[in-house]
Amino acid sequence: MKKEISKFLEFNGKSIHFLAADGEYWIALKPICEVLEVDYSSQLTNIIWISKLL
């Protein structure tokens, strides 16, 4: 990775931390799910299932 920059954004009154590296943004799934009030385990299962299809 070239340059890493850790930042945060505010969403629904909560801070979400993310990492910018090599022109890509990386963010943890669980904090996003908590802010959006969706079930983390279901979303993780969906991501794993979709990644197997690719």
Q: Can you give the chain as a three-state secondary structure string?
A: CCCEEEEEEEECCEEEEEEEECCEEEECHHHHHHHHCCCHHHHHHHHHHHHHHC
Mean pLDDT of 18-31: 87
Q: pLDDT-based confidence at 2, cuts 50/70/90?
A: low
What integer pLDDT is reported at residue 45 of this predicted model? 96
* Residues 6 or more apart in contact with residue 32 via CB below 8 angstroms: 16
Structural domain count, the chain: 1
What integer pLDDT is reported at residue 3 of this predicted model? 66
Q: Quote the domain boundaries for residue 22.
A: 4-53
Contact call for residues 20 and 4 (beta carbons, < 8 A) = yes
Mean pLDDT of 6-26: 83
